[in-house]
Amino acid sequence: MTALPTPRLVDRFGRIGRDLRVSVTDRCNLRCSYCMPAEGLDWLPKPEMLTDDEIVRLVRVMVGLGITGVRLTGGEPLLRRSLVSLVERIAALPHAPSIAMTTNGIGLDRLAAPLARAGLTRVNVSLDTIDPVHFNGFTRRDRFSDVVAGLKAAADAGLTPVKVNAVAMRGVNDRDVADLLRWCLDRGYELRFIEQMPLDAQHAWDRSLMVSQTEILDRLRERFTITPVESRGSAPAELFLVDGGPATVGVIASVTAPFCARCDRVRLTADGQLRNCLFARREVDLRGPLRAGASDAEIADLVIAEMALKAPGHGIDRPDFEQPERPMSAIGG
């Protein structure tokens, strides 16, 4: 095997891009209220979406620039029909990156084993409550049992440790957090709460409705002993021991304690736009040059130039903060 590629995605603050998030579709079969309106969105027309060949080529170019991990997301990634073969092709690349996926879990009961065989190694399943009535209310779909089946299949397929992502919403599911933690602990799933961010399609985010890390921990402390794990490392989640450990619970406090200074992420949207930050106000088109016959070196130069411009932080707390036009489901969460 040849030597590992030299990391080339370096910005003005010395951060190095290593983790590529690839949105494989903007479509979804849930309508989580913090993400999408009930009626859904105007989905991308098929010709505008990257093909498998295009995704694999862009991943190959970016691996050559130092990307070591790929996370497939969306929208709902399991809705892309070719997902298993896409994973297989990325896993077969020289210096293949690790391949993870963030999913709502619907359909994972059928796909977890084939995806694991194809080369997927880790999965984060989003589940915000174990109360089916609450689930149906804010996802606007009756799919709770499908998510539970998907989680079990992921564990059975060896996609372990299975991680669960949860967003707490004030007056909606904020009272469910301790039940969700108990449920995850009983099944060996690692739970991570994510503070709600201004990335919804409706632009209805309101800081006063966001349930902060402090509030989540206070609620968990009503039932568990929660103590910080000493080192946070490079992961965005701050980890806490539950009842003395070894089990942990994490909180990704993107709003109240952002990890921008250690961010190593790069994002590719389903229509081939490169974003150097979830909150970036601009995107760089890779699909156009790709379809116009650009060489790998030309694509690489576009990516290097855009990553060099990465802002120091998302600035949610600044008075001039403007929410990105595209929602999380279109950017790729």
In the complex, the residues that contact ligand SF4 under the rule CB under 6 A are 28, 30-32, 35-36, 74-76, 104, 126, 329
Q: 284 - beta bridge partners?
A: 274
Q: Are strands 190-194 and 69-73 parallel, antiparallel or unpaired?
A: unpaired
Candidate list 58, 112, 148, 194; residue touching ligand SAM; CB under 6 A: 194
Residue among 43 and 179 whose Cβ is closer to ligand SF4: 43
> Among ligand SAM, ligand SF4, none, what does residue 31 contact (CB within 5–8 Å per kind)?
ligand SF4
Residue among 12 and 203 whose Cβ is closer to ligand SAM: 203
CB atoms within 10 A of CB 201: 18
CB of 126 to ligand SF4, least distance (A): 6
Q: Are strands 238-242 and 226-228 parallel, antiparallel or unpaired?
A: antiparallel
What single-letter amino acid sits at 5? Answer: P
> Among ligand SAM, ligand SF4, none, what does residue 199 contact (CB within 5–8 Å per kind)?
ligand SAM
Segment 121-140, which members bind ligand SAM (CB under 6 A)?
Answer: 126
Residue 19 within binding range of ligand SAM, rule CB under 6 A: no
CB atoms within 10 A of CB 294: 16
**What CA–CA distance (Å, rounded) separates 147 from 162?**
13
CB of 39 to ligand SAM, least distance (A): 17
Q: Which helix (H) or strand (E) holds 250?
A: strand 248-252
Q: Which two tokens stand for residue 319?
A: 């008075």
Residue among 57 and 136 whose Cβ is closer to ligand SAM: 136
Q: Which helix (H) or strand (E) holds 60?
A: helix 52-63
Q: Which two tokens stand for residue 139?
A: 């996802």
DSSP 16: B
**What CA–CA distance (Å, rounded) separates 294 from 115?**
31
Residue among 124 and 212 whose Cβ is closer to ligand SF4: 124
Q: Which residues contact 52 (CB under 8 A, 6 or more apart)?
A: 82, 85, 86, 89
What single-letter amino acid sits at 98? Answer: S
For ligand SAM, how many residues bind (rule: CB under 6 A)? Answer: 20
Residue among 62 and 168 whose Cβ is closer to ligand SF4: 168
DSSP 10: B
> Among ligand SAM, ligand SF4, none, what does residue 238 contact (CB within 5–8 Å per kind)?
none
Are the beta carbons of 311 and 10 closer than 8 angstroms?
Answer: no
Contact range with ligand SAM by CB under 6 A, out of 69-77, 155-163, 168-176, 215-223: 69-77
CB of 110 to ligand SAM, least distance (A): 17
Candidate list 66, 74, 272, 324; residue touching ligand SAM; CB under 6 A: 74
Residue 173 within binding range of ligand SAM, rule CB under 6 A: no
Residue among 62 and 79 whose Cβ is closer to ligand SF4: 79
Q: Which two tokens stand for residue 320?
A: 């001039």
The residues binding ligand SAM (CB under 6 A) are: 28, 34-35, 73-74, 76, 102-104, 126, 165, 167, 194, 196-197, 199-200, 328-329, 333
